[in-house]
Structure 1
Amino acid sequence: MIPAKDVQPLARVQDNLLARQERRLLTWICARLPAWVTPDTLTATGLAGAVMIFAGYVLSLIDIDWLLLSIAGYAVHWFGDSLDGSLARFRRIERPSYGYFIDHSCDGLAVLLILSGLGLSPFVTMDVAMAALAGYLLLSIHTFLSARVTGELKLSYVAAGPTEARLLLVGMTVTMWVMGRARASYSGFTGYDLIVGAVAALLISLFVIQTVRTGRRLARIDRL
């Protein structure tokens, strides 16, 4: 086991569309958070937001207005998930090994809650939601393997990152709330299935493309 003090920090690569504006906002918030708010508190807050999203989607089977809980959950999830690492860096209290492990473990659980909630809702079929989950997990595997062999933690792809993904899901959820329950079309799939399925296909394609690119890059390095 590598001692925590010997773990080298990863270079964070984040070039999504909203990265610069979001960074300014996060820094402004960090400067105003009370001392009792810790990175661990924010990580737990982000996970609580994911539980809210899951519950809202599932309860929309009973009443569509429960989708408002999911929309609120996305805001809570963004607040906790985006600020936990930002606060640690702002206060210079980073714990690289612990923070990396806990943060990304909670991210995986949060995505599972969000996509399984979508699959249990009356809007998206579970098969399509699980395809999106598979795409997310494949791209996560690439990200973590690439971080190990290149020292770079890539947090965005095709100018999109977690914040852009949340905004897409919020927009889709608002549309669900406004338009009402989905009706099957396109060989039994809904329009929401097509959107989530397209995202799943994009994630899987990115995994394949990035794996090939990184493999070629590493092959050149190893030959040298």
Structure 2
Amino acid sequence: MNSGFKAKITPIDRIQENLVARIERRVLNWLCARLPRWVTPDMLTGTGIVGAFMVFGGYAGSNVDRNWLWLAVAGYLVHWLGDSLDGSLARFRKIERPRYGYFLDHSCDGFATTLLVVGIGLTPYVELEAALIALAGYLLMSIHAFLSVRVLGELRLSYLNAGPTELRMVLIALTVCMYAAGREPPLIGALNVFDLFVGGVGICLIALFLVQTRRIAARLAKEEPPRN
């Protein structure tokens, strides 16, 4: 008799409605069909982490020379390649490992995002406090997504027509602006335009978390009314 326990796998409905989703899917499918067989999803996950370290290193190096910011831009591209292709390749080759892949992918996502956003706060262009507000907002939305998988069976990968790819595009644009503009003078108190933008994004994410939490809680309350 086998006494081992194996968790039941429930199919997850992936919801991705970001602006570039269709184009990105075509590009990813094209790349998956052409990757050599020795390239594995785990290798691509590792590539994404390497890209995140490149971004962090580029941002840290910008304290010495702003040309280090180009390393951060290159890191975003490497991170996109690894982070977007790992699951796509597994599904393309039909070699998914649902529990392992879900756990590893989202664990690496959290670590990589921490590197990216803390890296922004270590540049001479953005205050660390503003970056940490953005990180808090992103992680709250990640928690919301993971809870939705548990209670709804849905993994929402985009909100307000924006997802991880759009976020990387915004961060690349921010990095190029930091390179072009240099240190901006304060606008409000000690905060410059970059601080206000990064902190503002974080506040918007926190507000979105609260709105989505209220919406999902109301939906669940109707589906599970109080017991008398």
Larger radius of gyration, structure 1 or 2?
Answer: 2
CA contact (8 A) 2:57 2:72 kept: yes
Distance 2:192 2:5 in 1: 49
CA contact (8 A) 1:27 1:90 kept: yes
Q: Supply the AA of the counterpart residue of 1:144.
A: F
Question: C-alpha deviations, 1:152-182, integer Å up to 9, x for none?
Answer: 0000000000000000000010111112233
Q: Which residue of 1 aligns with 2:200?
A: 198
Superposed displacement of residue 208, structure 1: 0.3
Q: Which residue of 2 aligns with 1:3?
A: 6
Q: Supply the AA of the counterpart residue of 1:85.
A: G
Superposed displacement of residue 183, structure 1: 3.0
Distance 2:56 2:105 in 1: 19
1:86-165 equivalent positions in 2, closer than 5 A: 86-165=88-167
Aligned residue among 53, 69, 72 for 1:70: 72
Distance 1:118 1:210 in 2: 27
Distance 1:168 1:23 in 2: 19
SS at match of 2:158: coil
1:43-54 equivalent positions in 2, closer than 5 A: 43-54=45-56
Q: Supply the AA of the counterpart residue of 1:24.
A: R
Corresponding position: 1:188 with 2:179:
no
Distance 1:50 1:29 in 2: 21
Superposed displacement of residue 2, structure 1: 6.1
CA contact (8 A) 2:135 2:202 kept: yes
Q: Supply the AA of the counterpart residue of 1:60.
A: S
Q: Which consecutive segments of 4 or more residues in structure 1 shift more than 4 A? A: none
Distance 1:108 1:9 in 2: 22
Q: Supply the AA of the counterpart residue of 1:197.
A: G
CA contact (8 A) 1:56 1:70 kept: yes
Distance 2:198 2:5 in 1: 40
Q: Supply the AA of the counterpart residue of 1:3.
A: K
Question: C-alpha deviations, 1:90-140, integer Å up to 9, x for none?
Answer: 000000000000000000001100111111100110101001111011111
Q: What is the TM-score with the length of structure 1 in the denominator?
A: 0.97
Distance 2:197 2:5 in 1: 43
Q: Supply the AA of the counterpart residue of 2:128.
A: M
CA contact (8 A) 1:122 1:182 kept: no
Segments of 5+ residues of structure 2 without an aligned counterpart are: none
Distance 1:41 1:204 in 2: 33
Cα RMSD after superposing both structures: 1.3
Distance 1:154 1:8 in 2: 16
1:10-25 equivalent positions in 2, closer than 5 A: 10-25=12-27
CA contact (8 A) 2:45 2:83 kept: yes
Task: Identify if the C-alpha distance between structure 1 residues 2 and 101 changes in structure 2 by more than 3 Å, giving closer, same or farther.
Answer: farther
Q: Supply the AA of the counterpart residue of 1:137.
A: L
Distance 2:11 2:65 in 1: 47
